[in-house]
Structure 1
Amino acid sequence: MMATLLVVTFIIGFVIIRLLSKTNGQKNDDNNNQQQQNDCDSQLKFIHLDYLPTRNFSLCPYELNGGKKKSKSIVIIFAWLFAQDRHLNKYRKLYLELGYNVLTIRTGLIQLLFPPFGTQQIMAQLIQFMRMNQDQYDTYISHAFSVGVYVMGECLVLLNGQSNQDVRNIFQQRMKGVIIDSAVDVNEGPIGLAKATTSNTLLQIVIIVLIRLYYIINYPLATRHYLESSKQIHINPIDCPSLAFISKDDPMVNYDDHIKTFEKHRNNGLIAMIKSWDQSPHVAHYVKYPDEYRSTLIKFLDQIMSNDDDDVLIN
């Protein structure tokens, strides 16, 4: 019975991967020329660390990108699915201008579908990075987008382990704030994955059905990990100030859940800010409302660095 379930699971997973990879590949072909042009126009400088795979990690140091001295502050960006550099660079440049190093974490589709062999391994590598660089950085900020919020939650799960208590202490002492943008929770995940890869309604329906079936069949290997990650995000175990960027018309985001969760954090004495719009695309709030996005982010960063507890911002 178990062998049959595993076979069915891998077949469904393979079909999902093929569907999403094919549709996303078509998008990449359409955008390839524009991306190459953007890369030529503005090239950021990165360094590669031997113990971090380049397909998942890229480190953009402040001092190599216009900074006059080394920065001891770092932002960890948990990218959305299929995120491209020409889009991520908008956020990297913003944080570089503010004096931060930027570590970007990408997660592939197959790594999302099989957490024990994917996202959890990537988060174990992030924990190792923090352990090896504990003397280099004294301030951490997390900025997670869409399914990247789930990936960040996996890190929180791993930090509950006894072997990672040293890094958990680093998190609690040095993680100054968490920013989430268009967070997709486990229940909205199928819709988010479908809409992120194709505008074809029929294909979206097929993808959603397959992923929900995958949730049911593959509960031990995947779904229970999604749920545990979601739990960690909701309870905020490190008691960290947080900021959310959301849109009321985003079908991939549970707007009411955001409001309730942030109210709970606020009642627990934490800084919890929400910036919302009536209409704004998924993971594109900064593109559509650059001035509002930037000013809200800077206000949040200023507030958490000064420990000035202000009223929650809900627009």
Structure 2
Amino acid sequence: MMELFFLSVYLYRNRVTIYKLIMILKQFHRSLYISELGKHASFSQMEAKTSAKESQVKPIVIMLPWLGASEKATEKYAQLYRSLGFNVIKKDSEMTDFLWPKKGFENCKNFLTQLEDNTQPIVVHSMSIGCYFYSLMLLAMENEPEKYANVAKNIQFQVCDSPVLGTLKEMAFGVSSMVTNNSAMRALMKMVTLGYFSLSKPFTVKYYDTVIELIKYRCPAVPSLLMTSKNDPMACPEAFQSFVKAWEDRGCKVTTKIWEKSEHARHLHNHPNEYKALITDLLKVGFKIESKL
């Protein structure tokens, strides 16, 4: 906590505003991922505009990947679902969706607006920061139930892969891990992020508390799959188990998978056969599954 105090003093003395700090974090992230974000940061119109015939017969997977996920990496998930007979709509997140929740909330509502007329069953598959974006979707649907009624009622399954659960320290570590693999830079980014949380508490931390409580206690009561690993530094084991219990108490039929060793949001890569089996077993409860893999 002393490091956080001294960082706050430094930021104050140097008149580093919240906005400037967001720009610093955002620019640092862009310097590492600009080529990927430039291609994949927005709603994919190509994936959304499936033919009318296809959209009438195929259920939809809304895929919410981790921050900076490459097209090559996310395509493996999309192929898995397509092989099971689903259309896939992917929505990438930006760093500012998390660092400035109000912006993320607006982006979320824009995304949901494009799904308003959908009548097909929906599977939500969120990963890492994508789980946070999913919580923003739930907040929007709760705030405007009539507007997003079609989306809400059609969510039939939900998958949360590597949710970042725990304290602000886990969140800060998550942010630092999303932008760099360098241990020294991670430590610096974690300190800067904690400082940012401290300075922006009314606009960030309170928002995080709201959406975490919402997704934990007021999520859709549908069959669900939660995945994490024991060596994931972004997931507190106690917080994960509390999350599972809350969903079970909510009425969700919850399947959990906790690997002994598996990298954050890399479970499909590390355990491909088991991962595919988990998804297939979840979905065959509600859909006729004929895998083409």
TM norm structure 1: 0.77
State the distance in 1 between where 2:113 and 2:54 align.
28
Q: Alpha-carbon deviation of 1:305?
A: 4.6
State the distance in 1 between where 2:64 and 2:16 align.
31
2:223 paired with 1:241: yes
State the distance in 2 between where 1:126 and 1:169 align.
14
5+ long unaligned stretches in structure 2: 1-11, 289-293
Which position in structure 2 is the counterpart of 1:82?
A: 68
Which position in structure 2 is the counterpart of 1:12?
A: 21
> CA offsets, 1:95-131, max 9 Å, x none?
1111111111111112322221x21111111221222
How many residue pairs match? The answer is: 270
State the distance in 2 between where 1:108 and 1:215 align.
17
Which position in structure 2 is the counterpart of 1:35?
A: none
Which position in structure 2 is the counterpart of 1:217?
A: 199
- Secondary structure at the aligned position of 1:251 is classed as coil
2:151 paired with 1:165: no
- Give the structure, 1 or 2, with the largest relative contact order (CA under 8 Å, sep 6 or more): 2
2:161 paired with 1:181: yes
> CA offsets, 1:145-172, max 9 Å, x none?
10111111011111222xx212453344
> Paired residue for 1:208, among 178, 190, 197?
190
Q: Bigger shift: 106-115 or 82-91?
A: 106-115
State the distance in 1 between where 2:180 and 2:227 align.
23
> Paired residue for 1:130, among 96, 115, 121?
115
Q: Alpha-carbon deviation of 1:215?
A: 0.9
> Paired residue for 2:278, among 273, 282, 296?
296
> Paired residue for 1:193, among 145, 152, 175?
175
State the distance in 1 between where 2:150 and 2:54 align.
27
Q: Structure 1 vs Structure 2: percent identity of aligned residues?
A: 20
2:286 paired with 1:277: no
Q: Alpha-carbon deviation of 1:255?
A: 2.4
Regions of 4+ moved over 3 Å? 4-7, 61-64, 67-72
> Paired residue for 1:113, among 94, 99, 104?
99
- Secondary structure at the aligned position of 1:90 is classed as helix
- Secondary structure at the aligned position of 2:156 is classed as strand
State the distance in 2 between where 1:241 and 1:198 align.
35
Which position in structure 1 is the counterpart of 2:47?
A: 60
Q: Kindly tell me: are residues 9 and 252 of structure 1, through their superposed partners in 2, closer, same or farther at Cα, counting changes over 3 Å?
A: same
Q: CA RMSD in A?
A: 2.7
Contact 1:62/1:101, CA 8 A, preserved across alignment: no
Q: Which amino acid aligns with 2:19?
A: F
